[in-house]
A and B are shown apart, each in its own frame.
Chain A
């Protein structure tokens, strides 16, 4: 593996507070985030990365892949609770939540589709955070349009030869193993590619609009030789299911993170409106400000309920969770973008500065409308269901 184009960080990110308790539910997640994440998130944003110490704290808290079964190193955390946990992390820092999202996608894919040998090799390391995963789908010429990917995996010498370029890979600067989707002769397959495999080149992408500390990268795969068992899941018509399922979990986590952004906007705006006065009157008493706050309260609750419903359906193994997750992600991400804009508006010039976190929320929220399927793709898919129901 080669790393090129590494620019020195603007400043080293601060080290989070000492002492880490296990995260088992929303309450403990909130405590973890308020202690180790939220106070430093603006500094992470400016540094363009999160520190290794925080990644270790996440591991100590058991946050990397708690949904894995106990035998694989997890705790068997249910999806409703995982959604609550990712919401809390997203409330504190969308960059860290993004790292959790892509790691979740890689770990779940191994657990769901991997052979016993693949699960034994990767799952415990994913659960412990000893190996961090990243999700490689988007390319310079293909994002939400997955049919346009050009990275190829050709059968060669009893294994695979991987060639292509992946872009916008969250966590790519730091991940230890990449879950790469590539075109095979039959369909699109999922391949696990360790970072140190010869032919893998990582180029950091810095200065993005939002989630600036999520350590994005462009990754080239040039004649990368993989063993036969690098392929995860079935081949043939169901190979696309691996991608569908992986993206479903990505959307679920992004929806959760978006709820967290709305909540963060609400908390910051309510605090500011209570303390800031205009002509001797607190902002919180002005009807136009109250309207913004009331919409934040309402949408936070609505988005949270949609997320919980998608999680409940996942826990029940119901196929309808996929559409429920589309709806939750669409609603929550658009709400996050809208309310982050209003949060900046409430803060005025202060909101445009680095003195308050709402500018970061604003930049991060925009990203939520694009990743894991743009909201235009979301609406097209949701409208497809409406059409089916109409003709029923």
Chain B
């Protein structure tokens, strides 16, 4: 597991410690996501990995699993910064 996935999973598990969550599990299907958690999740990703998630990337498929969030971070880090 990459460090990115591990940190994302750590954040989700910290918020929902009673749940067993793997890197490929759909957190939406598990019923964990409300608007408060979504906001916290996006803030965590932006703060932890030093990225700004543009509106067009705020799609459900990018946040379903730790895998998909990790891929989003990798993609954003690879893109040149836009002023």
CB pairs A–B below 8 angstroms (13 shown): A236-B58, A236-B60, A237-B60, A238-B58, A238-B60, A244-B38, A317-B47, A318-B47, A319-B43, A321-B43, A322-B39, A322-B40, A388-B17
Question: Residue-by-residue, is A208-252 near B (CB-CB < 8 Å gives 1, otherwise 0)?
Answer: 000000000000000000000000011011101101110010000
Question: Besides A243-B35, A319-B11, A322-B39, 11 other CB < 8 A contacts?
Answer: A236-B59, A237-B28, A237-B60, A238-B42, A238-B58, A240-B38, A241-B35, A244-B36, A318-B47, A388-B18, A392-B14
Is B36 a contact partner of A233 (Cβ separation < 8 A)?
A: no
Question: Residue-by-residue, is B1-40 near A (CB-CB < 8 Å gives 1, otherwise 0)?
Answer: 0000000000100111110000000001000011110111
Closest to A381 in B: B36
Q: How many residues of A contact B (CB 8 A)?
A: 24
**Docked pose: A115 CA to B18 CA in angstroms:** 39
Q: Is the CB of A272 closer than 8 A to any CB of chain B?
A: no
Is B55 a contact partner of A317 (Cβ separation < 8 A)?
A: no
Q: How many residues of B contact A (CB 8 A)?
A: 26
Residue among B43, B56, B59 with most chain A CB within 10 A: B43
In the complex, how many angstroms separate the beta carbon of A16 from the nearest chain B beta carbon? 38
**Docked pose: A391 CA to B16 CA in angstroms:** 8
**Docked pose: A243 CA to B15 CA in angstroms:** 21
In the complex, how many angstroms separate the beta carbon of A136 from the nearest chain B beta carbon? 18
Q: Is the interface of B mostly helix, strand, loop or mixed?
A: helix
Indicate which residue in A113, A236, A317, A381 contacts B43 across the interface (CB closer than 8 Å): A317
Residue among A233, A237, A317, A320 with most chain B CB within 10 A: A237
The 10 closest A-B CB pairs, nearest first, are A240-B35, A392-B17, A319-B40, A234-B58, A319-B43, A238-B58, A317-B47, A391-B18, A244-B39, A234-B55
**Docked pose: A237 CA to B33 CA in angstroms:** 9
Closest to B64 in A: A237
In the complex, how many angstroms separate the beta carbon of A137 from the nearest chain B beta carbon? 13
Is A244 a contact partner of B35 (Cβ separation < 8 A)?
A: yes
B18: chain A residues within 8 A (beta carbon): 388, 391-392
Is B38 a contact partner of A237 (Cβ separation < 8 A)?
A: yes
Is A388 a contact partner of B16 (Cβ separation < 8 A)?
A: yes
A245: chain B residues within 8 A (beta carbon): 39
Question: Residue-by-residue, is B47-63 near A (CB-CB < 8 Å gives 1, otherwise 0)?
Answer: 10000000110111001
